[in-house]
Structure 1
């Protein structure tokens, strides 16, 4: 009975671990290298932060298959990237090109830093540190009164 339970558990575990392994044959080493590079540089539109090589989503599997087919047909790396961008937009690449649509993504952080630094410089120039005596309205007359009070207090506290 125990061996039957162990056998069933082993079969169930083996079924859950089973994964489809894709195998692609190429005519040349250059084609295989191009396929690997594209699989690791094109982004899966569904997974957002995974490459099509890392993702197991059905869309990523379809994209890998399309890249394989285009590579086998002799398409260049740039032709395949252009096809993917035309179909899925610039999002499919990790380094989108500088266009009017992506300008805010490229220039936004730099603009925020420059504006922030400019505001800090302007505010620091406007709020120059004033001497402590001027800032509190402290004068020589107040200083003399304080010294007199301290002198009276010190002489009043001493035992005679």
Structure 2
């Protein structure tokens, strides 16, 4: 039982996100360090692209973490630090890019495409349903069919 609990504890700790912040990067002031961690979680690693600089072990991520800490120590606000990074590296440096005219398609494009796809499916199914219903025979077609059926009937219910 104890072995099982220890194994579960090791597995749970092993699946926690590994932070790449090195001990020599940590600031002495706990409030500044907390701000640095918050900002680092919002900044994209330009090498990994799918991780924040707080989670990345890349050298560029380390440089960006140090830059964030330098700006905080210099007295910049969180917004000023992010503005500095965006001015230097572009809006791609943020894990959640701002909603601007140039990024509207990125933000709303998938929802629009999904909506258009749903409309196309509904229209296609409605057309199939309409075309799948048999149309009744015209009086002329009915007479012709009856004539053909009478022609092949030998009176026993079997066709000749």
Same structural fold, with TM-score higher than 0.5 when normalized by the shorter chain: yes
**Gaps spanning 5+ residues in structure 1: where?**
1-19
Distance in 1 (CA, whole Å) between partners of 2:97 and 2:123 is: 35
Distance in 2 (CA, whole Å) between partners of 1:116 and 1:43 is: 32
Paired residues of 1:39 and 1:53 also in contact (CA < 8 A): yes
For residues 60-108 of structure 1, give each alpha carbon's deviation from its aligned partner in whole angstroms, at most 9, with x where no partner exists: 1111111111111121111111111111111111111111211111121
**1:29 aligned partner:** 30
Q: Which is higher, the Rg of structure 1 or of structure 2?
A: 1
- Alignment RMSD: 3.6
**1:110 aligned partner:** 111
Q: Which runs of 4+ in 1 moved over 6 A?
A: 139-145
The Cα of 1:29 is off from its aligned counterpart by: 2.6
TM-aligned CA distance change 1:118 to 1:133, over 3 Å: closer
For residues 121-143 of structure 1, give each alpha carbon's deviation from its aligned partner in whole angstroms, at most 9, with x where no partner exists: 33333333464574x99x87899
TM-score normalized by structure 1?
Answer: 0.65
Distance in 2 (CA, whole Å) between partners of 1:55 and 1:24 is: 14
The Cα of 1:25 is off from its aligned counterpart by: 5.3
**Gaps spanning 5+ residues in structure 2: where?**
1-20
The Cα of 1:44 is off from its aligned counterpart by: 0.8
The Cα of 1:27 is off from its aligned counterpart by: 5.3
Paired residue total: 138
